Structure 1
Amino acid sequence: MPRERISFTELYDSSRQHWPESTEGVSLIAPAVYRLHEHLSTLAETVFKRHRLQSAEFETLCALRNSPDPHRITPTELYRKLLVSSGGMTKILARLEDKGLIDRPANPDDARSRLVELTNRGKALIEEVTEQLLQQEAALIEKAVDSSQLEKLLMTWLDNLERSAEDKPPAHPSYAEK
């Protein structure tokens, strides 16, 4: 049975009433994003569970699917795309290989390593799971007041954060144009 939580508004109102100094002059953006993340994570985990995937496996399959055809890259390239330790990556790859979702062909450029390649089964699965996830996310996003404006603001904020962390030029100038 899912855990029932009080609404974000109720939580904030309770804090204002019983701990006012915790809410004075504080933006609600970060706590609201955390709560939205909970909703999105719960939705995603439900879809993943239906397909017997863990979140890290889904992310790995997505990273492979986002690679050029034949969706084959080195473990190092894969590791750089994901927030996971090298030991964690080894375990994820072993599980995906056991499920027949990836292959590990020899690397023609380096006999000491093996590549990671999405199988046809893995490609079909990640496309199906992603389609289901996108449909369910779209239903949540429909509840946003102005989703296009919200998307623009969030992407600009995220781009600014990532640029300042890496001292890079804007990755997506098109967001400012939307």
Structure 2
Amino acid sequence: MNSEKDSIDEVQRQWTRILPALDTSPMVITGRIRYLAQAIQAGSDEVLARQGLTRADFDILSVLVRSGRALSPTEITVQSLISAPGTTKRIKKLESDGLVNRILNPSDKRGYLIEPTNHALEIFQPVVESISDYERTLLGKLEPRDVIQLTESLRAFVSAVRESKAESD
């Protein structure tokens, strides 16, 4: 595993020089997480673009395909963590692209549900496989034991962040 210094170490060194009493140890972890999130998303966005989809398309379609049923726009908003106006805008685009259908909500005649079209279902599996291949390639650069350790560490960190968020709400 590569243990060379990186740009995050340089940022930490600079902060330590300016504010020597500041504990900068958290930033080496959170800075790397932010860097990884941006880099991985940019790479997967390129994969999606080659498939003719945007991140927004993929996020909505993922929620719909995973759920296995038609969803209300509110359910899509909650599950995708997108704002309600953002969800509405994305649904309209997906509908005009022939990837989703609006159907009348049988339990609320004023509302509607969103379902993926057959075309969306046909193209979705290869898209997910492409994203998975991209991510597998990235993780393939690590030793298997490091992937296991990273998985466990990130799970614990996600849990701690959720707990901290719940305490502050």
The corresponding residue for 1:35 is 35
Q: How does the TM-score come out when normalised to structure 2?
A: 0.83
Deviates most, 157-166 or 99-108:
157-166
Contact 1:106–1:113 under 8 Å retained in 2: yes
Deviates most, 24-33 or 90-99:
24-33
Contact 1:102–1:119 under 8 Å retained in 2: yes
After superposition, the CA RMSD in angstroms is: 2.3
Deviation at 1:156, TM superposition (A): 1.5
Q: Which AA in structure 1 matches 2:157?
A: W
Give the total of aligned pairs: 159
| 1:112-127 alignment, distance < 5 Å | 112-127=110-125
User: 1:9 pairs with 6, 10, 20, which one?
Assistant: 6
Higher normalized helix content (fraction of residues):
2
Does 2:48 align with 1:48?
Answer: yes
Does the C-alpha gap of structure 1 residues 18 and 53 become closer, same or farther in structure 2, counting only changes over 3 Å?
A: same
Deviations 1:57-115 (A, max 9, x none): 111100001113xx311111111112222111111001111111111111111110111
| 1:21-170 alignment, distance < 5 Å | 21=18, 25-27=23-25, 28-68=28-68, 71-145=69-143, 146-166=146-166
Deviates most, 125-134 or 8-17:
8-17
The SS at the match of 1:105 is strand
- Runs of 4+ in structure 1 deviating by more than 4 angstroms, as ranges, are none
Q: Flag structure 2 segments of 5+ consecutive residues without an equivalent.
A: none
Identity rate, percent: 28
Q: How does the TM-score come out when normalised to structure 1?
A: 0.79
Deviates most, 24-33 or 35-44:
24-33
Q: Flag structure 1 segments of 5+ consecutive residues without an equivalent.
A: 1-6, 168-178
Does the C-alpha gap of structure 1 residues 8 and 67 become closer, same or farther in structure 2, counting only changes over 3 Å?
A: farther
The SS at the match of 2:67 is coil
